[in-house]
């Protein structure tokens, strides 16, 4: 029986994706759950597994095509019933590009160029032929920076990695103003942040923590972490300090199902780590943090962050979060008010650790301190409840014995 493999809804507000790479061709036998196709979206690159075992009869969206969610991209004969298409009905197999003879003088058609839909739109807006651009991204992908550099007349040299793309002049703008197209990940972030603020009642609570003992504890464990081949940051300790607080205050680890009229209390702890990348902000998820020690968490955080920066996160690595942490401590500032990552109801902002004067037992001492800022949806979490939750996190962080009992 033939099965139509449709581009699944991968969440995160994504409505379409570009077929970046097929991992099977017409005539191949595939097994359920094997990596089948890599999709590039404006949010993240994901590898989608085969939905079932069978034989590939037809590929209806080739590499470079942009497919909508729900669109059939492959037809599979799963071997049940009188399946399969007749030879006359089935289109010719896709050419095996890897086996084709090289044609160095031939310019590839625009459709075969690896580039996100937003990047293609930018090229059109700037009047640039994207097929003439040598991509500097992963697997030769053309990036926004490549397009802008090409449009400005520069043809060589990779772009300098930046978090925020510099403004680019758009034809028609006057000399005193520049028009910057809202596109790609930035457009997605814009839409999600606006939706978060428009659909939730957000409040931020800020508390101070003396992390002197945490700094010493991290130093004590760094050697053991290095022997395991992982870099130990403060993040795993913060995550482990969150667990008892999330268990004690379950409404912080929840979501609101408005249609059903239910608050969904999550009894599992999947922590999203907001990660700054060249493409924009992405949030990979570390699952079941209550079941992992600090070394396991450190290794997983490092791996996910690396994949995020390379645009190699899978679907499962960016969904299913129950609570999010965003860390701007390395950048600076006193504290910020992060926006809740809906459908979650709370997000914790971590900030710079600095030596500050602190009064202890009537004396002024220099201690390592920081600020925690908890933004929450007041429809689900009351202010006093949020304050108690944050105090519980601070209490665990400041008490070496309590923290040790959580991290090991």
Please report the pLDDT score of residue 88 as a whole number: 37
Task: State which residues of the chain have pLDDT below 50.
Answer: 83-108, 110-112, 155-165
Are 122 and 187 a contacting pair, CB within 8 Å?
A: no
Record the tokens describing residue 109, joined without a space: 């058609």
Please report the pLDDT score of residue 180 as a whole number: 80
Please report the pLDDT score of residue 267 as a whole number: 96
CA angle 193, 198, 199 (to 5 degrees): 100
Q: What angle in degrees, to the nearest 10, is found between the helix axes of 144-151 and 117-125?
A: 10
Give 122-177 pLDDT, tens digit per residue: 887 788 888 788 887 655 678 878 888 888 775 444 433 334 445 555 555 567 88
Please report the pLDDT score of residue 94 as a whole number: 45
Please report the pLDDT score of residue 93 as a whole number: 44
Give 283-330 pLDDT, tens digit per residue: 999 999 999 999 999 999 999 999 988 878 877 888 899 999 999 888
Catalytic positions, please?
A: 378
Please report the pLDDT score of residue 105 as a whole number: 36
Rounded to the nearest 10 degrees, how much is the dihedral formed by the CA atoms of 240, 289, 9, 136?
70
Please report the pLDDT score of residue 97 as a whole number: 42
Which whole-number Å values give the CA distances from 334 to 57, 168, 273, 328, in the listed order? Answer: 59, 31, 20, 10
């Amino acid at each position: 029986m033939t099965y139509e493999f449709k581009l699944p809804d991968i969440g995160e507000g994504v409505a379409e994706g570009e077929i970046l790479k097929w991992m099977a061709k017409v005539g191949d036998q595939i097994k359920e759950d094997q990596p089948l196709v890599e999709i590039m979206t404006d949010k993240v690159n994901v590898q989608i597994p085969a939905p079932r075992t069978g034989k590939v009869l037809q590929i209806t969206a080739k590499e470079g095509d942009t497919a909508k969610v729900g669109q059939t991209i492959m037809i599979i004969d799963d071997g049940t019933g009188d399946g399969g298409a007749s030879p006359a009905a089935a289109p010719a197999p896709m050419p095996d590009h890897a086996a084709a003879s090289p044609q160095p003088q031939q310019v590839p058609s625009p459709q075969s160029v690896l580039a996100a839909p937003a990047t293609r739109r930018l090229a059109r807006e700037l009047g640039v032929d994207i097929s003439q651009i040598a991509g500097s991204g992963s697997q030769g992908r053309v990036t926004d920076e490549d397009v802008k550099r090409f449009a400005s007349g520069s043809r060589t040299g990779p772009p300098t990695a930046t978090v925020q793309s510099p403004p680019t002049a758009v034809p028609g703008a006057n000399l005193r103003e520049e028009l910057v197209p809202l596109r790609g990940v930035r457009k997605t972030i814009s839409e999600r942040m606006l939706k978060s603020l428009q659909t939730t009642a957000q409040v931020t609570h800020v508390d101070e923590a003396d992390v002197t003992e945490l700094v010493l504890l991290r130093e004590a464990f760094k050697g053991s972490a290095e022997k395991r081949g992982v870099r130990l940051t403060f993040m795993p300790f913060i995550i482990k300090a969150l667990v008892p607080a999330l268990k004690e205050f379950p409404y912080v680890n929840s979501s609101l199902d408005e249609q059903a009229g239910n608050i969904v209390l999550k009894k599992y702890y999947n922590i999203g780590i907001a990660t700054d990348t060249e493409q924009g902000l992405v949030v990979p998820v570390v699952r079941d943090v209550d079941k992992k020690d600090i070394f396991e968490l450190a290794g997983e955080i490092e791996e996910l962050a690396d994949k995020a920066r390379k645009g190699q996160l899978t679907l499962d690595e960016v969904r299913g979060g129950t609570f999010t942490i965003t860390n701007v401590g390395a950048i600076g500032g006193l504290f910020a008010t992060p926006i809740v990552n809906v459908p979650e109801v709370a997000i914790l902002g971590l900030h710079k650790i600095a030596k500050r004067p602190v009064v202890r037992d009537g004396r002024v001492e220099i201690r390592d301190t920081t600020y925690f800022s908890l933004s929450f949806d007041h429809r689900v979490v009351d202010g006093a409840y949020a304050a108690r939750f944050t105090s519980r996190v601070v209490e665990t962080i400041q008490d070496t014995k309590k923290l040790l009992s959580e991290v090991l």
